Amino acid sequence: MKLRTLLSCAAAIGVMASASMALADARWTGAGATDRFDDPANWDTGIVPSSPTDKDNAVTDGNVARNLLDGTNILIEDGMNVEAFAVQIGHPKEGAFGSQAASNTLTMTGGSLTTQGNFLFNVGRGTNVLPGQLVQFNMSGGVVNAAGITVPEAFGPGVGSVGINAEMHVSGDSIVNTDLLRLGAQDANSVVTISDNAQVNLTDDNNGFAPGVLWIEAFEAVPVGTSLLDIRDNGVLTVHGEWWTDENGDGIRGAATKAEADYIRDNYVNSGWIVGDGGASPIGVSFSNGVITLRAVPEPATAALLLVSCPLLLARRRA
């Protein structure tokens, strides 16, 4: 692991976070007749967030979508093609103890969500002094294309997402394509599940600053908080880029390598940060043609079960 790589990562995230704070934003009010994302009445700007890419950061139409309200839900469903420069669930609100994260949810049952332009989809952002606060992204259908997804977001050293409980659950036939999936931040508690036939693909196709990488910060920084990635049933995670190995030593992250696959297996999987079927199944980590694939591998049938079935098979063959 290269020190300069770590420093460049921190610098990039700091620049992204500070820039996003300066952008025009649309704040969720929930004043509409439904919880639908595409209802203008639900946003304080009266305009649905849009424009996923804006390289000049000349944002004037409130296309950074933020939700600061406790106990609220934003819905994306079939027929909705949502675009935003960034989406921030549980964005900080001012409370009795300063800036703290709201406890709210984004639910996606279909349609599409696109966030690009070097800005992130944050599942949780800010600080949290209430143990019961929980920020969630629950996806059971549709497609997400994101420059990066953080569960949760950290602003920088000493100002991170302290104590946030953040969860992302991807199920059904959902597809998530993102250039970065980052779990954990300081003492945050982070849970991500990929289940049923869902696919999460860490690619380099969405204008993000990281080339398709998996980063479990709770493992790297050894904070008080926890992170867990649980791959269930036929859920699949693919990783297309390297994060820590930097095999040629140039300080630049590139395509996934066998060394990166080994790093994920030896550190994240073997340390229990990535589990299969809630811990009931081991995780298989394979590498082929520049792609790392992680999936749960159920234990094979025991010898005893095979012995019991053999007489039945023989009887059928004789008949």
Q: For 92-106, how does the pLDDT look when each residue is reduced to its tens digit (9 = 90+)?
A: 776 665 667 789 999
Q: Domain residues for 98? A: 3-318
Give the total number of structural domains in the chain.
1
Of 44-58, 102-116, 122-136, 245-259, give the range with the top mean pLDDT.
102-116
Q: How confident is the model at residue 300 (pLDDT cuts 50, 70, 90)?
A: confident
Pairwise pLDDT comparison (24 vs 184), residue with the higher score: 184
Q: Identify the band that residue 127 occupies on the pLDDT scale cut at 50, 70 and 90.
A: confident
What's the CA gap between 2 and 41, in Å, rounded? 48
Query: Which one has a higher pLDDT value, 14 or 120?
Result: 120
Residue type, 236: V
227, 183 contact by CB (below 8 A): yes
Token representation of residue 279: 């811990």
Residue 260, pLDDT above cutoff 60 = yes
What residue type is 204 in one-letter code?
A: D
> Would you say residue 31 has pLDDT above 70?
yes
pLDDT band for position 7 (cuts 50, 70, 90) = very low
Buried b (16+ CB within 10 A) or exposed e, 104-139: bbbbbbbbbbbbbbbbbbbbbbbbbeeeebbbbbbb
Element spanning 312, H or E: helix 303-318
pLDDT band, very low/low/confident/very high, at 253 (cuts 50, 70, 90): confident
Closest CA to 167 of 92, 106, 240, 78: 106
CA atoms of 2 and 251, how far apart (whole Å):
7
pLDDT over threshold 80, residue 294: yes
pLDDT at 306 over 50: no
Give CA angle at 43 (42, 48), nearest 5°.
100
Asked whether the beta carbons of 178 and 121 are under 8 A apart, the reply is yes
Q: What pLDDT score does 62 carry?
A: 72
pLDDT surpasses 70 at 177: yes
What residue type is assigned to position 275 of the chain? V
Contact 225, 201 (CB under 8 A): no
Residue carrying the six token digits 């994260």: 101
More confident residue, 8 or 166: 166
Q: Which of 160, 165, 106 is nearest to 130 (CA)?
A: 165
For the cut 90, the answer to whether the pLDDT of residue 118 exceeds it is no
211/243 Cα distance (integer angstroms): 8
- Report the candidate in 63, 69, 118, 121 with the shortest Cα–Cα distance to residue 92: 69
pLDDT for residue 301: 54
Q: Is residue 183 within 8 Å of 218, Cβ to Cβ?
A: yes
What predicted TM-score, i.e. pTM, was given to this entire model? 0.84
Percent of the chain at pLDDT above 90?
50
pLDDT at 310: 45
Highest mean pLDDT among 86-95, 285-294, 296-305: 285-294
Residue 91, pLDDT above cutoff 70: yes
Reported as a single tens digit per residue, the pLDDT across 198-208 is: 999 999 888 77
Quote the pLDDT of residue 13: 44
Asked which of 115-124, 135-144, 166-175 is least confident by mean pLDDT, the reply is 115-124
The full DSSP string for 37-80 is TT-GGGBTTSS----S--TT----S--EEE---TT-EEEE-TT-
How far apart, in whole angstroms, are the C-alpha atoms of residue 182 and residue 9? 12
Higher pLDDT, 246 or 125: 125
| Predicted confidence (pLDDT) at residue 55 exceeds the cutoff of 50 | no
